[in-house]
Chain A
Amino acid sequence: MLTIYFTNTISSFLFSILLIPIFRLIAFKINLVDKPNFRKVHKNSVPLVGGIAVFSATLISITLTYIFNSNLYIYKTMILGGGIMLIMGIIDDKVDLRASLKLAIQILLAHIVFTQGIKINSLFGIFGIYHLTPLWQYILTIVTITGVVNAFNLMDGIDGLAAGISLFSFISLSYLAFITNQIELIPIYLSISGALIGFLFFNFSKNKKIFMGDAGSLMLGFIIIVSSIMLVQKANQTSKITTVASNVLAILIIPVFDSLRVYRKRIKAGLSPFKADKTHLHHLALQLGLKHQFATMLILMMMLSIIIVAIATKSIVNLTLTFILMLMLFNMITSLLQFNAKINTWKTKLHGMENNEFNI
């Protein structure tokens, strides 16, 4: 059965590499491109069709599977919601939607997800909290979905990063779906993974470069968080809950806690938490002097280490301690990178001081 699912990976990979060149051409025609500016690292206009390509290739691939497996219908909320995020993202990529409107649509989608019964109803003993009251279930579900979706959006800053993190996430989610006996989810995750691999070829290419676009990162973030909630919900009351919860946390820690770190820093500096700057994890990694692909690899290695902590500690300590250990690892690495960035800042300041005239 599982081997059949890997055909999803291959087919969506093939569909994505077939579709991307076509989408690229259309993107140039309708001006769905990212133009360089002072915050961006690239120098030419790059088509923002990664998200559309990944979603389309996935859709074709799972539709083919659907013919043989009608169970997929129950995941319509996730797929439809992802589609709406994608469309909103495309419009945003094209004409820059107001932030408040985007947030409103995200909250509305999160609300629909909740009404479909996909919700965070327990913290499974993290910090001693188990079952949540309905009000808290609602608040936490809405905040988590919108928070994670935006966090994924912010990770899309350098080549391969959002796709790499998503790829790692979907591979982990496939494993979690397998152990919680929700194998109908696996074709979806493996299809997206295949399409992401296809995307990465183009994302790293020099001549045929494309970006994920807000469309892609919002859609992927949405599918990942809704899947995570569904898997945890399903594993609740079973022996697998610690494995599932700790792995889901491991997937989400980098995007979520990096956004929280950046928001906190901006608020502390008296700025709006949403004011764009160059302090995200990938900016810090680039400050080590690494090229894009190596900075991406460094962050993926960090993600992998956090996942290893989750796997290694889940049977020894409780979920709270696992969570704290993962956070400590994240914090240690980001602190080192921030320290390095501080050195670079002083280097620049010093350069200015050295070359200015000094009064004697």
Chain B
Amino acid sequence: MKNNNKTKLAIIGTVGVPANYGGFETLTEHLIEDISDTYDISVYCSGKKYQKEQRKNTYKGARLIYLPFDANGIQSIVYDTISIIHSLFFAEVLLILGVAGAWILPFVKIFTNKKIIISIDGIEWKREKWNLLAKWYLFWAESLAVKYSHIDISDNEAIQDYTSARYGSLSRIIEYGANHAIKVELTEDAISKNTFLLNKYAFKVCRIEPENNVHLILEAFSKIDVMPLVIVGNWEKSEYGKALKEKYQTHPNIYLFDPIYNQKDLDVLRSNAALYVHGHSAGGTNPSLVEAMYLGLPILSFGVSYNKVTTENKALYFYGIDSLMKQLSEINYLKLSHIGKNMELIAKRRYTWKNISFKYKLLIEEAILTNKKASSQPDVEKLSYKSLIQLGQAHLTSVINL
């Protein structure tokens, strides 16, 4: 029996729950578990990913609403838009994950009193995988998402810097949780399948895309015989992946796996690695990175700001093939173990779902109580240059001039 006094919250933009997919879905699942006692939650789910017999009316106390569209790709625009319109009939707070449906937000903000919280999910328009028109749309949609929401969420401080520079918005940082990642002990069965498990090895799981620097990592490990490298990913999906697989699959030091759908099998490989190599150069806080940190794996990461912020600058970093080879040739296992411990401490402090859900709860409360969007710009920026001159304060202009 639902309590009608609860604030009604709609979660929009995920594939749906039960979560089988990415970061947003796992987040939704944990939000349902942690805050559905306070809020009456409805979640929009993609009918394309949940067959009729799998569908449920409610899940862990949340109402599920299925729409017959894909949550990703071009259809996500329709999916998110219809979800937003539908939610206007009942929800008080809209938690929108991703910017695909943001074109409609100016209308929602102007004509309704619904509260909008939006997570912009990394800097999507910059990603190489989009064509020109998609980039144009995402760039525009992101600007509407930030301007016409009551609160916008970044999953990383580096993205917060970007939204502040571009929009003057004080974006709130909420990262991802990682405590669903499980450490799996080695079994004889696993060892018999993969003998490299007996020794030290480096591990990486990711989409096989150039922006994840897979080519660079493979090249370095093929040249330096420090430890075997194991990579799990969708090699067959692109020419890039196929070419890399063709080139490196016979290398004695390199093990390439296609996607592993059995979580336990994947966890065995991941949690027993001596080094986690993280090559992501795009996006904000990567769920795979925080999960590896939570498992206490030493991290060797591409040195972009997002990854440095996530690992609090306490991991090992590389910037190109030379620095990666240098890091590999200087590997010291005592140091690695120290880094692993540090990563685990950070993850246990920052990347637990309880912590993340609590932050979302605070934001929802704030959104209910406020009408004004928080700005990162000092109030002096609102004055024109002319007024500043008249006040004798012209030196205060352009405090932020990026």
Contacts and interface: CB of A to CB of B under 8 A. Distances in A.
A: interface residue count bin: 10 to 19
Interface string A205-217: 0000000000000
Contacts of B140: 339
A358 B139 contact: no
A358 B136 contact: no
Contact of B312 (A288, A355, A357, A360): A360
Interface string A9-47: 000000000000000000000000000000000000000
Contact of A350 (B126, B157, B309): B126
Contacts of A343: 125, 135-136, 139
Contacts of A350: 123, 126, 162
A353 interface: yes
Contact of A349 (B125, B165, B312, B313): B165
Contacts of B161: 353, 358
A340 B136 contact: yes
Given A340-B136, A343-B136, A356 B125 contact: no
B148 interface: no
A73 interface: no
B136 A354 contact: no
Which of B123, B312, B319 counts the most A-chain CB atoms under 10 A from its CB? B123
B158 interface: yes
**Interface of A: prevailing SS:** helix
B162 to A, nearest CB: 6
Interface in B82-124: 123
Contact of B162 (A336, A342, A353, A355): A353
A289 to B, nearest CB: 8
Interface stretch (B177-185, B300-308, B336-344, B363-371): B300-308
Contacts of A354: 158, 281, 304-306
A349 B306 contact: no
Nearest to B311: A360
Interface in B304-337: 304-306, 308-309, 312-313, 319
A278 interface: no
A346 interface: yes
A358 B309 contact: yes
A158 B157 CA distance: 41
Contact of B305 (A342, A349, A356): A356
A264 interface: no
Contacts of A355: 303-305, 319
A360 B313 CA distance: 8
Interface string A37-81: 000000000000000000000000000000000000000000000
A347 interface: yes
Contacts of B157: 358, 360
Contacts of A347: 126
A340 to B, nearest CB: 7
Interface string B154-185: 00011001100110000000000000000000
Interface of A: 288, 336, 339-340, 342-343, 346-347, 349-350, 353-358, 360
Closest 5 CB pairs of A and B: A354-B304, A358-B305, A354-B305, A343-B139, A360-B312
Interface of B: 123, 125-126, 132, 135-136, 139-140, 157-158, 161-162, 165-166, 281, 303-306, 308-309, 312-313, 319, 402
Given A349-B165, A355-B303, 11 more contacts: A339-B140, A343-B125, A343-B136, A346-B139, A353-B161, A354-B304, A355-B319, A358-B157, A358-B305, A358-B308, A360-B308
